Amino acid sequence: MPESQLLAGFDAGQTHTSCRLAWLDERGELIPCSEDQGPGVSHLGAPGGEARFQAALCGSLQAARDRAGLPAQTPLSAAGIGASGIEAGSAVQARGLALAAHCLELPEERVWLSGDEVAALEGAFVSGPGILLISGTGCIALGRDAQGQTHRCSGWGWLLDGAGSAMDIGRDGLMLSVQMADRRLPESALKDALWQALSVGSAQELKAKVVSADFGPAGFARLAPLVEAHAAAGDQEALQVIQRSAAALAAMVSTIGRELQLHAPAVCGAGGAFTHLQLLRQELNAALAQHCPGAHWQSGAGDACDGSLKKAAQAALRC
């Protein structure tokens, strides 16, 4: 399609990065091309953050090009990127924009970059009010009213504000395990299951494991399904971990609803924890019924890659 422009839309999370390619035709319409994944990102200010960011974009883009059978030299016309840890108007956003433009070989005016929650909100709600609730490795909620005003809750980094995320569930499961190991709590099958998953045999080994450079929030998040499975099987301590995360997510929704005066908000859920942890969703429904009774689930019109592609198309049409 030589008369069309190739666009890329990225959803860069902490676990993996998705890249979706589309052609922008002469009528301004997007025609899907291909999609694939690459490695995840970390905060740009973290050790190795800039290198991880560029590797995530370049790796996922190359995988999507390969899947489409496009020559490596096929140029991009514009790109939209929703990335974890990017704060609008911050120095980090400016650094990320420069890095993205360099590795994608685009002028900065043809690159849109913001937080992944902004891209996801753009994809989920084409127009009108709603609340996007993301629970994956990390978690964040972003809402918009009918006038376009927004309010955000959470997403302040895993060291400060992870309640409601898979990372938090996995970490809290490991916290229970060390309390079982030193006899503060009665031992249950949860400890052995978590330690076996990490190939550790003692609290000392576990302590060293979780502070290793390659563990991080994703290492904790990978344990969340084990914690939920034991909660579903009747482990009361594990169940309380799931319930605390559900309550934290419900508090985000109710706060945004109050701040934006959304009395019966449409809520779109996204992220791996929300998608795959069934018990977490059940407990979240119960918490929402109690704290935000008017809230109701709504399927998103699209996802974060769709939102990023929308912004890429706007950038291409402006230039």
Whether the pLDDT of residue 251 is over 90: the answer is: yes
Q: Which CATH superfamily is domain 128-300 in?
A: ATPase, nucleotide binding domain (3.30.420.40)
DSSP β-bridge partners for residue 135: 139
Whether the pLDDT of residue 76 is over 50: the answer is: yes
HSE, side-chain direction, 13 A CA sphere, residue 222: 14
Q: What is the mean pLDDT of the chain?
A: 94
Tens of pLDDT, residues 157-181: 889 999 999 999 999 999 999 999 9
pLDDT for 2: 47
Tens of pLDDT, residues 274-296: 999 999 999 999 999 999 999 99
Q: What are the angstrom distances between the C-alpha of 31 and each of 100, 106, 309? A: 23, 21, 11
- What's the length of the chain? 319
DSSP β-bridge partners for residue 223: none
| Cα 52 versus chain centre, distance | 16
Q: How far, in Å, CA of 18 to CA of 14, rounded? A: 11
Judge residue 310's burial from the number of C-beta atoms within 10 Å of its C-beta, 0-12 exposed, 13-18 middle, 19 or more buried: buried
Whether the pLDDT of residue 273 is over 70: the answer is: yes
| Cα 207 versus chain centre, distance | 26
- Amino acid identity, position 218: A
Residue given tokens 């052995």 in the structure block: 192
DSSP reduced 3-state for 82: strand
Is the distance from CB of 257 to CB of 131 less than 8 angstroms? yes
**Every domain range in the chain assigned CATH 3.30.420.40:** 5-122+303-318, 128-300
- Mean pLDDT over residues 143-169, rounded? 94
Question: Considering the domain 5-122+303-318 in this protein, what is its CATH number?
Answer: 3.30.420.40
